[in-house]
A and B are shown apart, each in its own frame.
Chain A
Amino acid sequence: MSERKTTKEDVHSWTSRYADKAGYMLNPDEEMRELVLEGIAKNKDTHGKNYCPCRIVTGDEIEDKKIICPCIYHKGEIETDGSCHCDLFFKKEDEDTDED
């Protein structure tokens, strides 16, 4: 039996939970969002970790740990740019809007 492949939906599930918990939102642009989710899923299956698809896996375990999504840089990037480098997590634009 082969191992089940990681799906975009798997990644969407935990990244959504993280975004909610951290007070962020996922990229509202579906095409771009799906691209990142797919990239993370691929990295999970290829490298065994949820590496950011916009960062380069070096093979150095300590360095690569920094780029496991959500990476160590994302908070600072969201604070200064409004989104993380890979455009997955965004600062919530309107805190008052509570759409479901």
Chain B
Amino acid sequence: MGLGNFISNLFGKEKATASNEPAVEEISTNLYEINTAAFENEVVNSGLPVVVDCFTKTCPPCRKMAPIFEKVAAEYDGKIKFVKMNLKNSPEIAKQFKIIGVPTFLFFRSGDMVTNVVGFVEEDKLKEKLESLLE
């Protein structure tokens, strides 16, 4: 960790997920914000299916989606892991999965991405996708 990062982290100026070190922050029940460095461990190697909400802070559809994602995350606790990734901090993920717009939801089963959804989705549509992930 560089001196700049160390100082930023020390004074809490930089969010951990903006760091190059693996970072996992629990936001609420079954909802975690991670960075690229934590992706392999938290998503690819997860024992549970995973849904990843790729967002940016200045995107209104992302903000509109946030409370729905949080609510549904709690409902699927123990069945599907819910993860958020800020693409401003994790541009590598955008490249890897060819993400062109946010929010984009990536659905993983056994480490493989099985489907994705681009843009705001209503709760029932999101649940439909999640159920198909459990089949």
- List residues of A whose CB falls within 8 A of some B CB: 27, 29, 32-33, 35-36, 38-39, 42, 53-56, 58, 67, 85-88
Return chain A residues, CB-CB under 8 Å to B99: 56
Evaluate contact between B63 and A35: CB separation under 8 angstroms: yes
Return chain A residues, CB-CB under 8 Å to B57: 39
Return chain A residues, CB-CB under 8 Å to B119: 85
Assess A27 versus B60: contact at CB under 8 Å? Given A56-B87, A56-B94.
yes
A-B Cβ contacts below 8 A, count: 53
- Least CB distance from A63 to B in Å reads 8
How far is B56's CA from A55's CA once the two chains are assembled, in angstroms?
9
Evaluate contact between A32 and B58: CB separation under 8 angstroms: no
Chain B residues numbered 65-110 whose CB sits less than 8 Å from any CB in chain A: 87, 91, 94-95, 99-102
Evaluate contact between A56 and B102: CB separation under 8 angstroms: yes
Assess A54 versus B87: contact at CB under 8 Å? Given A85-B101, A85-B119.
no
Return chain A residues, CB-CB under 8 Å to B60: 27, 29, 32-33, 35-36, 54, 86-88
Q: Chain B, interface size: which category?
A: 10 to 19
24 contacts between A and B (CB under 8 A): A27-B60, A32-B60, A35-B58, A35-B59, A35-B60, A35-B63, A36-B58, A38-B58, A53-B56, A54-B60, A54-B61, A54-B62, A54-B101, A55-B101, A55-B102, A56-B94, A56-B99, A56-B101, A56-B102, A58-B100, A85-B61, A85-B119, A87-B60, A87-B61
Evaluate contact between B94 and A53: CB separation under 8 angstroms: no
Evaluate contact between B61 and A86: CB separation under 8 angstroms: yes
Q: B129 interface residue, CB < 8 Å from A?
A: no
- Least CB distance from B92 to A in Å reads 11
Task: List 6 A-B pairs, minimum CB-CB distance, nearest first.
Answer: A39-B58, A32-B60, A53-B58, A54-B59, A87-B60, A56-B94
Assess A42 versus B101: contact at CB under 8 Å? Given A56-B87, A85-B119.
no
- Least CB distance from B3 to A in Å reads 24
Q: B64 interface residue, CB < 8 Å from A?
A: yes
Evaluate contact between B94 and A32: CB separation under 8 angstroms: no
